[in-house]
Structure 1
């Protein structure tokens, strides 16, 4: 039991595995790593459950939590609703968008500040670009008013076209008159 036994005891130790311990210095023990990951997951789940536990929270707290979850979905659904309204009733949509083009600059700034602070985003002001865009939109006020009048005129023409005599439309269309002559003749 001499030298070889002492050498093996030195490498593998008395009931220990020196090779395993040395290898774990360079490479993680997979089983121990999995156990640590599970402990982290369990701790996170306990933290989440404590955060959302309703015991001890009043109706007001629960109501405010619900209100804080509404703005993002409401804004997303509102944008989709604008697309639908543009397709369903273009005249109504054009009138509303023309009105939005006339909103003054300070109100846009106020809206930007409220929205950015509400969502916790950093508000970056691009003053010169924004003022240029506002100046352009203010300069286009007469054009917007004219567009609204044109849209309303189209709407009234649609109403008149539905009540007008269909025979009158035949006299306004030269191709249709030629076709009728060729058919009759």
Structure 2
């Protein structure tokens, strides 16, 4: 005669045995997901360093130019940096480790990271467009003597800077977009291989 506790354990064991076997996580999949994580950590550190540098420069500019322009510049830089850091933090939420140790969880995490990279590219272009709009608005207000002109938006130097930044942002976007496409293909193949292993 079995006790109630033994029967419960037996039922639990039977349920466990009926569960489909999970495919082992291939080493290649683990390696690629860890590489994604390493890149993500390096990117986060670099973003924070750039944010700190921009805020430091804005503070220095405001202290050096003790006028309305310095304060406005400080506020604009702080607002844009806060927006960018907020997006970056929210965009990385839930991407640091898989929710469980299974091949499917690793695949889903990798694909979600790829999608979030694409979102980061779209956000970078939106942020750049907003920055250009702010510079154009600043130039317009300076022409009507509402604020002092800190820079000339329609100069050879400014246009060369805009073209240079646009080219760098475009090159970076293309590089990341192509890498995301390649990684999506690789993880799809790894997913098929792990399913075929079962």
TM-score, structure 2 as length reference: 0.31
TM-score, structure 1 as length reference: 0.33
Computing the radius of gyration over CA atoms, which structure comes out larger, 1 or 2? 1
